Structure 1
Amino acid sequence: MLRFEHSIAIFVCIIANVFCALNSVEEDVGTGKYVIEGRVFPADDQDLSTWQVDTRIHVNGGEYIGFIKDDGSFTIYNVPTGSYVVEIVNPDYMYEPIRVEINSKGKYRARKVNYIQTSQVIQVPYPLRMKAITKFRYFQMREQWRLTDFLFNPMVIMMVLPLLLIMILPKMMNDPETKEDLKQISNMAKMSELPEMSEMFTSLFSGGAATKANVKAKQIKKRQ
Structure 2
Amino acid sequence: MLLCVIAIGASAKGFGLPAKTSNTKVILNGGQRVTFARPDGYFAFHNVPAGTHLIEVSSVGYFFSPVRVDISARNPGYIQAALTETRRVLNELVLEPLKEEQYYEIREPFSIMSLLKSPMGLMVGFMVIMVFVMPKMMENIDPEEMRQAQEQMRNSPVSFSGLLARAQS
TM-score by length of 1: 0.46
Distance 1:76 1:127, change over 3 A: farther
Give a deviation string over 1:101-126, Cα, whole Å, max 9, x none: 11212432222214xxxxxx723224
- Is the aligned partner of 1:76 residue 2:65? no
**Cα separation, 2, equivalents of 1:122 and 1:98:** 9
- Is the aligned partner of 1:123 residue 2:88? yes
**Cα separation, 2, equivalents of 1:96 and 1:62:** 16
Deviation at residue 60 of structure 1 after TM alignment:
1.1
Question: SS in structure 2 opposite 1:53?
Answer: coil
- Show the counterpart of 2:18: 47
Distance 1:35 1:46, change over 3 A: closer
Write the letter of the residue equivalent to 1:35.
L
Deviation at residue 82 of structure 1 after TM alignment:
1.2
| Aligned partner (choices 137, 142, 147) of residue 112 of structure 2 | 147
Q: How many residues get paired? A: 127
**Cα separation, 1, equivalents of 2:74 and 2:43:** 23
Question: SS in structure 1 opposite 2:52?
Answer: strand
Question: SS in structure 1 opposite 2:5?
Answer: strand
| Aligned partner (choices 73, 77, 81) of residue 110 of structure 1 | 81
Q: Assess if the C-alpha contact under 8 Å between 1:109 and 1:123 holds in 2.
A: no
**Cα separation, 2, equivalents of 1:122 and 1:156:** 51
Question: SS in structure 2 opposite 1:34?
Answer: coil
Q: How does 1:196-211 map to 2 (within 5 A)?
A: none
- Show the counterpart of 2:4: 36
Give a deviation string over 1:17-40, Cα, whole Å, max 9, x none: xxxxxxxxxxxxxxxx22223211
**Cα separation, 1, equivalents of 2:89 and 2:16:** 25
Distance 1:156 1:142, change over 3 A: closer
Deviation at residue 46 of structure 1 after TM alignment:
2.7
- Show the counterpart of 1:100: 69
| Aligned partner (choices 88, 107, 111) of residue 57 of structure 2 | 88
- Show the counterpart of 1:118: none
Give a deviation string over 1:2-27, Cα, whole Å, max 9, x none: xxxxxxxxxxxxxxxxxxxxxxxxxx
Write the letter of the residue equivalent to 1:65.
V
- Show the counterpart of 1:6: none
